[in-house]
A and B are shown apart, each in its own frame.
Chain A
Amino acid sequence: MNTIIYTIIVAAIIAILLGILLGLFKKIFHVDTDPKVQLVRDALSGANCGGCGLAGCDAFAAAVVKGDAPTNGCVAGGSDCAKKVAEILGQAGVEVKPKVAFLACAGTKECAQDKAEYIGMKTCKAAQLTMSGTKKCAFGCIGFGDCVAVCPFGALSMGDDGLPKVNKSKCLACGKCAAACPKHLFKFIDADTKGAIALCSNKSDNKPQIRKDCSKGCFKCGMCARKCPEQAIDVSSGLPVIDYTKCTSCGTCVSACVDKVLVIL
């Protein structure tokens, strides 16, 4: 009989003690959380894509409320989301220009040659680690689709030519593919960009080698810049960089390009 009474008393004392302690700790160490954070968090897309450059939607919401991140920082949410976030914070909304990813490489299976037969793990990362890519061109797309696997929105698919294809209507430019690509081939442009663009990332100056490696490699001749009537192309870094405020999509550079590196979007 004593045991039962002791059990009840001891259990009750321990439970009450711990209960009081917990209550006290909660009071003493209470942390005020801003209710705005939760509101902002709910307005976001919730994909946790990391396109804002922060750890995820929760981190972004906290940063926005603190003022460390811009209200239009959520790329996946787009304009609607930016508007909602700005409303919550009582700021004037800033328009978000939707961006899309594009692959700066045209080295399909036919154009770019393989160095050797690769029979290892079928991921770009592994191929990059073991033999710095499967293709002769050290800058070219490896084509095992690490980007396709990592895309949270299903915007990428592997084409028959061995290069990933971007579905512009699905792409939200979160940047996961760019981070996954060991060759850093993904660039981001405004979705409504009109003009010429260079589909090559070969930064090498060894011109004969470029030709040998890939029939679509930029030869660094600079013809596009010289022929452009608007002087919209800058080749000082080697590869052509197009200034879209000047480009009129006339197509002169595309026809001037010997290697057909440039295309009109």
Chain B
Amino acid sequence: METIKLFIKSALIDNVVFIQYLAICPFIGMTNDTEKATGMGLATTFVIMLATAVTWPLYKLVMVPLGLEFLQTLFFILVIASLVQLVEFFLKKMSPGLYNAMGVYLALITTNCAVLGITINCISKNYNYVQSLVYAFGSAMGFLISMVIMSGVRSRVKTANVPKAFAGTPILYICASLLSLAFLGFKGLIK
């Protein structure tokens, strides 16, 4: 029960994009069409899961005993960036189709703040290993949901008559803020 609660909380109530304001760059940059947005969302999900699975033990088993907590950001970035590279090599060889679909986004994910944000959150919220993975998966799903919703909104914005002053990126921020308000409505979902 607690696990399901944690999943819903991380995916909807504490949505990465709409509530925590992380990963705004791919959220604005990659939502041009639904297919790309889904690809980016799934690729990010994969990397977030992998990063959490590796950084949590690194922190708890190596950094805490040695008193190196202050190096969290540095080590996490180092590990995440290398992991993405490893995955890229792996995919290129084993599944060129998936690599072609995901390849461009993979490199972008290296600098995705959602990945770092979620791994650090897992630590700061004092989750155990299973909870961390559930939290990471929930947050990643939240990111995927927000990407797909935004790409749908954008396809409507494209054919709408937007006032000149708002055309382009500004209208997207307005859409994003309205969506964010809507997501605040999930606040009471779990006591």
Q: Which A residues fall within an 8 A CB radius of B? A: 2-3, 6-7, 10-11, 14-15, 18, 21-22, 25-26, 28-31, 120-121, 125-126, 129
Contact = CB atoms under 8 A, between A and B. Distances in A.
A21 B82 contact: yes
Interface residues of B, number: 23
B71 A30 contact: no
A14 B79 contact: yes
B93 A18 contact: no
Given A14-B79, A18-B79, A21-B82, A29 B67 contact: no
Contacts of B67: 2-3, 6
B75 A14 contact: yes
A3 B68 contact: yes
B92 interface: yes
Nearest to B82: A18
A188 B87 CA distance: 45
Interface in B44-87: 58, 62-63, 66-68, 71, 74-75, 78-79, 82, 85-86
Given A121-B159, A121-B161, A126-B159, A15 B78 contact: yes
A21 B78 CA distance: 13
Given A3-B68, A22-B85, A14 B78 contact: yes
Contacts of B160: 121
The 7 closest A-B pairs by CB, nearest first: A29-B93, A18-B82, A25-B89, A6-B66, A29-B89, A25-B86, A31-B92
A188 B50 CA distance: 51
A179 to B, nearest CB: 16
A11 B75 CA distance: 8
Contact of B68 (A7, A22, A120, A126): A7
B53 to A, nearest CB: 15
Contact of A7 (B58, B71, B78, B161): B71
B90 interface: yes
B94 interface: yes
A51 B96 CA distance: 25
